[in-house]
Amino acid sequence: MRKKTKISGLLMAMLLGLGTLSGCGSEPAATGSSTPADVPVSEESEEASDSASGQESASESAPEAESQAEGPDISEEVTLTMYLIGDRPVDNDEVFAKINEKLKAEINATIDVKFMSWGEYEQKYPLIFASGEDWDIIYTADWCFYNAQATKQGFWEITQEALDTYAPMTAASIYPEAWEQAKVDGQVFMLPMNYKEITSYVYMARGDLMDKYDIKSVASLDEAEAYMDAIVANEPTLIPLDVGSDYDKLFVFDRMWQKANWESEEKVAGIGTWQAMGSVSETDDNAEVKGVYDQPEFQGVIERLKSWKDKGFWSKNAVVNTQNNTESFQAGKSALALCNANTAKSIYTQMSTEHPEWDVRVFDAQDGVPPVLNSYLANGMSIFSKSKYPERALMALDYLRNDVEINNLFCYGIEGKHWEASGDNALVSLPDSSNYAYDSNCNWGVRNDASWRVVEGGIPGLEELNAQWKETAYSRRYQTFVFNDGDVKNEIAAITEIFNSEYKLLGLGFTDDPAGDIAKLKESMAAAGADTVYAEMQKQAQEFLSTNEN
């Protein structure tokens, strides 16, 4: 039975008024991570409890009761360090000055924000856990080291008790299924986004160049190829598609890979962390896990990527390029961008304002492949297990997620400068939004359906596309599968090195011999212990199916 936490009368009233988390009947297993102290109730609440049950003592002294009425102790002013992914927006400090003004008044805390750029986050993210640096909060996701750090005790456990005590707004509003998805061996180490997200991809193309070369559409791999052929032949100063940063090195591979497998009978999908390169057929009830490179469609995809690279569709320096392809497109260095729809929404208005002569056009890049209805773990926020102020960090996240003013600041910037409201759930981007673009500063972990605003007057035809995507969107069979790599950490470390070298080279088409280099990749993976990893992954996937589908 869960130990009952004493809560102040004010906090109890809030919880009773809003309702507590409804989907978390089981207690997460105890760990050695930090746990919050009980928060005492007010004298009035004690007396009411006494008369109802006769089980509590009424001998409290007045000073003690006065102290208890205050709830969580926030007497010490603290500065919390928060790590985000991406590049720091120009106006980030100005935005967070306003966020901190309110946080200081509410919880006597402020936030110092640090960023890991797209070009460095894969290397830097694991290192800061062992660096000895004092920090508190970090963006995480199922694709961004959540499982790896959760199983290494990198994150502070968020118990139901801690949630009720230090994050009552989140406790009252978090989707129960999101809380369940966040569990790793029964424990929660993340506050997932409270947002139902579909991941869908689009191409952004230069309409002026399309008209110049009589290109009618860029809505498939074949059409994108025809457009880029025209750019290579006629626009020597432009890179057709300038991919290359750690963020988007595999974007083109992913579009080709998803299409090839959706059209196959096997319906192969990734499983586990993407750095492990595991894959499984969604039609296989035995959940046999193989390396992506062992799937029948892999070589054909690499051969097409090689052909695109050989044509000059991206830079010969793509492997070391630290600028992502949308940044190059915005800067006028390239003719095409490939990104998710949310990224396109955040920059379309800005680009149309700054470069109306480009006539930027947006096309569906799904190419017949239904978009994925993400798990809630696609974006979230976690607390460092060695944070000196984990409870205060949880309180700060509660406000970042649920306080409408703070959430609006984090997600869209300063109202009246970066955006203005349009009705209850829309906004119009203002010229200064270029310095704090809509939904582009790694606020994704605190997205909240309750207060989310969409951009009004944005991408033409996007509403129709969204309707199509929502109708066809699906959840993958292993969408909520979380791989526990506790028994294969050394192998995973070795495999990650291969992922960042040999695999990414192939994913950008940098090979003169696809079949030969795929064979070398297989040898490297075997030497790194991939068979052991995939056997463990398969065992856990079978347990997952047994638990979730029977």
Q: What is the pLDDT of residues 180-237, one digit of tens each?
A: 999 988 899 999 999 988 889 999 999 999 999 999 999 999 999 999 999 999 999 9
**Interval 22-48 mean pLDDT:** 32
Which residue from 165, 311, 143, 162 is spatially nearest to 227, judged by alpha carbons? 311
- pLDDT interval class at 55 (50, 70, 90): very low
All structural domains of the chain with their residue ranges: 9-197+376-412, 250-317+480-550
Q: What is the pLDDT of residue 251?
A: 94
Q: What CATH number is given for 9-197+376-412 in this structure?
A: 3.40.190.10
Tell me how far apart the alpha carbons of residues 29 and 46 are, in angstroms, rounded to a whole number.
Answer: 29
* CA angle, residues 515, 518, 524, in degrees to nearest 5: 145
- Beta carbons of 107 and 447 less than 8 angstroms apart: no
Q: What is the pLDDT of residue 29?
A: 28
CB atoms within 10 A of CB 67: 11
- pLDDT interval class at 550 (50, 70, 90): low
Which backbone phi and psi does 429 adopt, to 5 degrees?
-75, 135
pTM for this structure?
0.73
- Beta carbons of 270 and 248 less than 8 angstroms apart: no
Quote the DSSP letter at residue 503: I
Element (H, E) at 361: strand 360-364
Tell me how far apart the alpha carbons of residues 318 and 306 are, in angstroms, rounded to a whole number.
Answer: 13
User: Distance of CA 322 to CAs 141, 209, 444, Å?
Assistant: 21, 26, 22
Distant-in-sequence, close-in-space partners of 530: CB < 8 Å, separation ≥ 6: 277, 291, 491, 495
Q: What is the pLDDT of residue 70?
A: 59
**Interval 93-114 mean pLDDT:** 98
Q: What is the pLDDT of residue 119?
A: 82
